[in-house]
Structure formats: C-alpha cells, structure tokens
Amino acid sequence: MRPQRTPNAQICTITHKNAQFARSTSAGRGFLWRLHSYRRFRERKGGVDAECPAISRRSSLGSDWLARAAGRSAWRRTLEYLVMPHKQLIAGLALLCATLPLTSLAAERPAILLGAAWYPEQWPESRWPEDLKLMEAAHIHVVRVGEFAWSRLEPHEGQFDLDWLDRAVALAAQHGIWVVLGTPTAAPPAWLTQKYPDTLRTEQDGRKAKHGNRQQGSPTSARYREFCRRIAEQMARRFGRNPNVIGWQIDNEYGAFSWDDETHRQFQDWLRQKYGTLDALNRHWTTEYWSQTYTDWSQIPMGPGGNPGLNLEFKRFVTASLRDFQHIQVQAIRAASDPRQFITSNFMGWYDAFDHYVLTEELDLASWDDYVGSGHLDAVRNGMTHDLTRGFKRKNFWVMETQPGSVNWATVNNALDRGEVREMAWQAIGHGADAVSYWQWRSALNGQEEYHGTLVGADGTPVPLYDEVAQIGREFEQAGEALAGTSPVADVAILHSYDSRWAINGQRHNQNFDPVGLLLSYYKPIREMLQQVDIVSPDAPLAAYRMVIAPGLNVLPDDVSQRLIEYVNAGGHLVLGPRSGMKDTYNALQTARQPGSLVPLLGGRVEQYYALNEEVPVSGAWGSGTARLWAEQLQAQSHDGDAAEVLLTYGESNGWLDGQPAVLSRKVGKGRITYIGAWLDDTLMPAATQWMIRLGGLQPALGPVPEGVEVSRRVGAGKEVFVLVNHTKTAQRVTLPRPMRRVLHDDATVSAADLPPRGVEVLRAK
Ligand code: GLA
Ligand code: GLA
C-alpha cells in the first residue's frame, strides 16, 4: 500500500477506511472524527488538496453518520450516491460542522476500555491499517502511542515531525480506537545526549549512562528538562484539542535517578530550604553521632546510605525532583490541551523509589503496569496492588500495561495459563480499573524486547492469546453500561506510608521484615472477609471509614498522630500493627515509647521490641497461634483511670516475652484503639480480623463465597455491580444473597453463579 507522506494523506487514509468503518460497532463517532481530521487538515494546509483521489472519488464525510441515524443501509447508499460528486459542498459542510463542539465524541467512549501499546513508528505506514483492523476486531478501543518515539518526533534538534503521529491517531479513529499519547521523555534521541552529555544520568557508582538503552536522561538536569518540556509542548499543541486523544501519559515508569554533582548540589539546596539552618538539620539528624556535624551545606553527602535522617530526606528529595520533572510536562500539556484530556503516568505498584501520593497529586488519573513475571497470578497480592493504585488518588485507575501471556525480563518467562489473562483483566476491573491495556501489540522486529508477549506475532497475524483478549474486549463492551460511573467503596482503610516503609527498610532489624509483607498479612483476611478495603495514605480523609488499620506506621508525624486521635475520639476503630509510632518525621526515635504520642490514647506502651529468629507462641481472646519475625513486649498502663485490656499474651519463649501482653485494646468513648505488637501468623490474623469485623458490625459486600473466589463490588448512582473471579482451577458455585442479573451472558436473573475454572461473572444487583 501507499507510503503516506503526502500532505493529504490523512484525508486519504480516512476515506479509504470508510468501508470497514461502516461495519464498526461504534460508528457514530466516525462522522465527527472525520470532521475533526478534516478541520485539522484544513488548519494546516489551508484547503483541500485537489490531488486527493479519495476525496473526489468517494468522500463520505457524514454519510456513515447519517446512515446510522437512519439505521438503513439503503439510505446510506442513496446518500453516498447523492453527495459523492459534491466535494465543495461537503467541504463547506465539513467546515461548518467543524466549528461545533467535538466533545460528544468523548461521551461515546466506552466506560471500560481494552487497550494495547502500539508503536506505529516501528512499522511502515502501509502496515497500520492491518494492525488497527486486527485491534478493532479484538474490541480494542484505546492505544497508547508515542512514548519512546522521540527520535522520530524530533529527528534533529528543534525539527519536529508530528505528522506521522497525527496520521496514526486519525487512522486509529477510523477503527473506533482512542489514543493516549505518551511523552517520549524516557528515551532521549542520540543527537541530544551526544551534543549535550550533561543531560545524561550519572549512575550511583559514578558511571555515565549511555545511549542504547532507555532512561538515560537525567531528571534533574535543567537542560534535559527543557528538552522534555519542549517535546511535550509540541505534542500538546498538535494534539491537545484532538477529540480522539483522550489522555496523556508522562514519561514511563519513573525511577531512574542521577548521582551527578549538580544533583548533589540540588539536594543540599533542597535541604537548606527545608531546614533553614544547619543547627536544625544537625539537631534533627543527631549528627553528634559519629562526628557527622555539618558546618557547611556543601559538606552534606547525598543518600542513600548513612544517617537515617538523611536517608529519609533523600527519598523525599527524589520525590520532589521527579515531581518537578513531571510538573514541567504537566504544565506544558495543560497549557495547550483540552481539560477533557487526562494526564497520568504509569507507575509500578509497590516500587518505593519515591512517594507516589506526591507524584499523583497533580495527575488526573493513576495508572500502573501490572506484570506477574515468573509464575502465576498471586490474586491477593495483585488485588492489593490494584487497591494501592486506586488509593493514590482515591478514585478509579487504569492498568496501563499488563502482560499478554508472558514477559521477557523474569527468571523464567512462562506464559500465563489459558484463561488467566482474562482472570487478571476482570480482577483489575473489580478493583476499580477502568481500562486494561496490553503491552504490547506487536514486538519490534529488533530491540531489547523481542521475546516479550504480544497479541500478534512477528508475521503480523494473531497469536493464540489474541482470541482470549478479544473475548475480554467483547465483555468490556457488554459490561460498559453496567459499570459506567461505578467505583469500589470500602468501610475499612489500611494506611500505607512511604516514610514508614523507607524507615523500616533502612533498618529492618530482621532481614525478613518486609513492610509490604506485613501490610499483606492484614490486607488478605480483611479483603477476603469483607470483599472490599481501601489502601490510602495516612494523610487521606479518614472520617468515612469505620475502621482504620495501620500495619506498621513506623514514622508517626505529630499531625498524623493528631488526626488519628481525632478519628478514635469521633468513634472510629484504629488498629496499629508492630513497629508503629517509633519514629518522628526526621526518622529519629520518638522520645516516648511506642506508639509515641498515641501512648495515652492506647493506655499502654511497648516495653521492648524483639526481632525473632524463632516463632513465639501467642494465645488469648483470638485463639492460639504464633508470632514470627517480630514481637513487642507490651504493657497496659492506666490512663484517665482506665488501662487497655490485654487480648493476647506470649507463651514461653525468650524469658522476656513469657506471659507478657502481645495485643492491647482500649475503648475510647464510642471509638477504640488496638495495638498488635507482633507479626501474627495465618491462624491468628484471620481470627483478629473476625474480631475487628464483629466489633465494628461490618458486613461483607456479597456474603460467603468458596475459597479462591474473589468478590469485588462497584457502586454508583443507583447501581451495584459485583465482579466474581474464580482464581482456582476447579468449578465453583456461589449462592447469591439475592437475585442478580448476569451482565456478560444472557442478562438472565439468577440466584447462583456457576464459575468455571478461572471463570468470571459480572452481576448487576441494582
Ligand atoms: C562495634 C563498634 C561500636 C558499635 C558496635 C555495635 O563494636 O565499635 O561503635 O558500632 O560495633 O555492635
Ligand atoms: C515496562 C515498560 C514497558 C515494557 C514492559 C515490558 O512496563 O513500561 O515499556 O518494557 O515493561 O514488560
């Protein structure tokens, strides 16, 4: 087919695809989209090129739309016949209509989107229609495009070529596919880093990053940031009002940092701004220890490693630097784009190089890249990561990337089983994802990721997984109406704090004490029993929650402590896990025993903590089990005349713990505070959870289900939808508490759901 380099290629392409487009299930948008494309074409070229054969031969601007409106193909044929020769008339009509608001396109966007990462720059344009046709047939409605394409978008310094991208976006529209544009700033072109080597990152060992991989640009380099701003601005100017571009992804998977001298100076400046005086810094970091006292800002080393105060600040500095790096692009895009377009960036779950609450603050949407790697879906952990991501902005999110079968970077890149990709997709939706997008559509014929899972093979035809993904797409379309405007809602929040994770990871004291593992030990039983739970920052509003669990709130700043006290006084139940309330915001030990300023509220405190190399027996109100990895010897103390009650005590172990309290709980008015001083095993944690649920009068979203069946609930105005996913390899039956409608199948009203192995059921209760 044609290599489309002519100015009128866009219009030609658009009209060329009309026949297929007319068959598309989502055709209404076609008319407006073509008008828009036409308008853009006119804007750029100042008129219709008479050389465009497609226009004069078969211009059907508007005809699809009219045909749909009439719902009769005969109408359409008649109209096409009538309008075919009247190019000028059509052009005039198009110009007139192009002034109409184009936002109606967005309104038609399916509520739940299936997507793929598509790299049109890696293929001849003659291949694009075939790829998009295959995507359309798989019910893919969104592609992420442009990230990593910098050398194509700006082949030489200051020379931009966005026409090809415009054509790709326009062609995608012909297939009912919207576009998320990625800014390409994770892959600077060779000319840039060659001419300006100061834009390259310096690794922690002092080596300069080189061209040939990605993320070689330094996010702290002013020059690099300016190049990033400029390319983002160029893209935004071109696509910021394009109705088919629904959003932006800034960069890709932030995290790479630079250890160059300039960054080091920035860190020192950042500290100066934060602390004001060296006295304050020396005091908070207790630099008298090991003669670390600083008499000049330039003496302060750059983390990580070393003083815990410095370590925490370094993480915050990385966060601030990446936020600035991101902000420059956010600003450039916002200035030139329609507010209808969202801005996101794709994060990596529990990755802790920076504080995601800070980075997502100015984004419209959080998204993440959900990869299993080796092995198979760990449904609980993966569900927890979805909930983490939903908690970044406390609203629905996107799975911006996920594996079509296998990855190429794990120890063994095994494929997910047949049905497992669908199982994952629906789990994501249940947890509040509004889009699931596969990385990637097709592998570049060369490059570092040749072996990664794809939806079409090197030959350009579908791989076996394609059909499963097409099924997902079909189902997303079917369920769109039911799920539109719905989100998960929970009565219980688990607090997740980067400060606390950084502080514990910096000094684990027991190498196996993984703060995310601790969080999981709380999350698993509560998610399974209640079928809904939020994971939020300690800074999030808490009043709406009936229970707040802080598994390891090691760093407890005064303001957070104050809000927790208010929460309990207002009638909430606060549950603290081990290592809570030990540090202040500078990662220094609190001068009160744990849980610091919450000791009076608890009516008790930690006498001593012990890293465990052996399990310790624990028993009491929640039954019997063991503590592992960590045990704190607690003591109830009188406060306002009433001390905490002891719920669990340690059995015989190291002598110190024998017979001592392991869990304290105290009623405070209508509220309550509970402190769990040990990492409890898989017997005690569910028992503890049952106790919490009973005490709080909390109810599961749906009711009891067989083990391995995951229930998620999304609610919206007048809507209640359950997503049931069978994570087992055997068939399961779920008896429903009341009749519900099967959204994916026959829409029949049922009182039980029969789930095949790895099966999915979407049920509408309201
Ligand atoms: C060594 C050092 C001390 C202290 C202890 C801790 O003995 O001399 O300063 O660090 O280790 O175990
Ligand atoms: C990450 C990146 C993608 C790709 C995938 C492969 O998520 O964002 O560009 O490299 O990994 O799994």
How many whole angstroms separate alpha carbon 217 and alpha carbon 193?
A: 8
Write down the pLDDT at residue 108.
Answer: 78
Place of tokens 């750029």: 44
Pair type for strands 342-344 and 245-249: parallel
Residue nearest atom 7 in ligand 2 by C-alpha distance: 369
Least distant ligand from the CA of 290: 1
Q: Given a cut of 50, is residue 420 above it in pLDDT?
A: yes
DSSP letter (8 states) at residue 722: E
Q: Element (H or E) spanning 130, and its range? A: helix 128-137
Contacts of 476 (CB under 8 A, 6+ apart): 110, 112, 113, 114, 139, 141, 429, 436
State the Cα angle at 129 between 126 and 133, rounded to 5°.
Answer: 150
**Average pLDDT value for the chain:** 89
Residue 336: strand, helix, or coil: helix
Q: Which residue out of 150, 253, 367 has the highest number of ligand 2 atoms within 8 Å of its CB and is therefore the one to mutate?
A: 253
Residue 322: strand, helix, or coil: helix
Active-site annotation holds for 420: no
Write down the pLDDT at residue 17.
Answer: 27
User: 36-50, 391-405, 566-580: lowest mean pLDDT where?
Assistant: 36-50
| Residue tagged active-site, from 80, 136, 147, 253 | 253
Ligand 1 centroid, distance to 310 Cα (angstroms):
21
With cut-offs at 50, 70 and 90, classify the pLDDT of residue 92: very low
Atom of ligand 2 nearest to the CA of 408: 12
Residue 607: strand, helix, or coil: strand
Write down the pLDDT at residue 642.
Answer: 85
The pLDDT tens digits for 271-327 are: 999 999 999 999 999 999 999 999 999 999 997 879 999 999 999 999 999 999 999
Ligand 1 centroid, distance to 303 Cα (angstroms):
22
Please report how the helices 28-45 and 9-16 are oriented relative to each other, as an axis angle in degrees rounded to 10: 160
Q: H helices within 556-608, ranges in order?
A: 558-569, 599-602
Q: Identity (one letter) of the amino acid at 363?
A: L
How many whole angstroms separate alpha carbon 274 and alpha carbon 112?
A: 43
Q: Which residues form the pocket of ligand 2, taking CB atoms under 6 Å from any ligand atom? A: 252-253, 369, 371, 401, 407, 409, 439, 449, 452
How many whole angstroms separate alpha carbon 209 and alpha carbon 216?
A: 5
The pLDDT tens digits for 97-144 are: 443 433 334 447 999 999 999 999 999 999 999 999 999 999 999 999
Dihedral in degrees, nearest 10, Cα atoms 128, 129, 131, 136: 140
Say whether the peptide bond before residue 85 is cis (omega within 30 degrees of 0). no
Write down the pLDDT at residue 643.
Answer: 85
Write down the pLDDT at residue 488.
Answer: 98
Residue 103: strand, helix, or coil: coil
How many whole angstroms separate alpha carbon 207 and alpha carbon 194?
A: 16
The pLDDT tens digits for 66-83 are: 333 333 344 443 444 444
Pair type for strands 732-742 and 760-764: antiparallel
Q: Element (H or E) spanning 363, and its range? A: none
Terminal Cα distance for the chain, rounded: 50
Write down the pLDDT at residue 86.
Answer: 52
Place of tokens 């603050």: 361
How many whole angstroms separate alpha carbon 53 and alpha carbon 12?
A: 7
Atom of ligand 2 nearest to the CA of 147: 9
Ligand 1 centroid, distance to 554 Cα (angstroms):
25
Active-site annotation holds for 253: yes
With cut-offs at 50, 70 and 90, classify the pLDDT of residue 65: very low
Task: Show the tokens assigned to 487.
Answer: 């989100």
The pLDDT tens digits for 327-370 are: 999 999 999 999 999 999 999 999 999 999 999 999 999 999 99
Place of tokens 């198009």: 94
How many whole angstroms separate alpha carbon 427 and alpha carbon 760?
A: 9
Least distant ligand from the CA of 289: 1
Phi-psi region of 757 (alpha: psi -120 to 50; beta: other; left: phi over 0): beta
The pLDDT tens digits for 36-60 are: 333 333 333 322 222 222 222 222 2
State the Cα angle at 176 between 170 and 178, rounded to 5°.
Answer: 65
Write down the pLDDT at residue 304.
Answer: 81
Give how far Cα 427 sits from Cα of 219, 360, 417, 525, Å.
Answer: 34, 23, 15, 17
The pLDDT tens digits for 604-649 are: 999 999 999 999 999 999 999 999 999 999 999 976 778 899 999 9
Q: What is the mean pLDDT of residues 161-170?
A: 98
Place of tokens 């055997």: 730
Ligand 1 centroid, distance to 290 Cα (angstroms):
11
Residue 358: strand, helix, or coil: helix
Task: Show the tokens assigned to 468.
Answer: 């499963």
The pLDDT tens digits for 453-502 are: 999 999 999 999 999 999 999 999 999 999 999 999 999 999 999 999 99
How many whole angstroms separate alpha carbon 400 and alpha carbon 180?
A: 10
Give the residue among 477, 482, 423 at the shortest CA–CA distance from 136: 477
Phi-psi region of 244 (alpha: psi -120 to 50; beta: other; left: phi over 0): alpha
Ligand 2 centroid, distance to 455 Cα (angstroms):
15
| Cβ pair 52, 46 in contact under 8 A | no
Q: What is the mean pLDDT of residues 672-693?
A: 98
Say whether the peptide bond before residue 101 is cis (omega within 30 degrees of 0). no
| Residue tagged active-site, from 401, 632, 710, 761 | 401
Q: Given a cut of 60, is residue 90 above it in pLDDT?
A: no
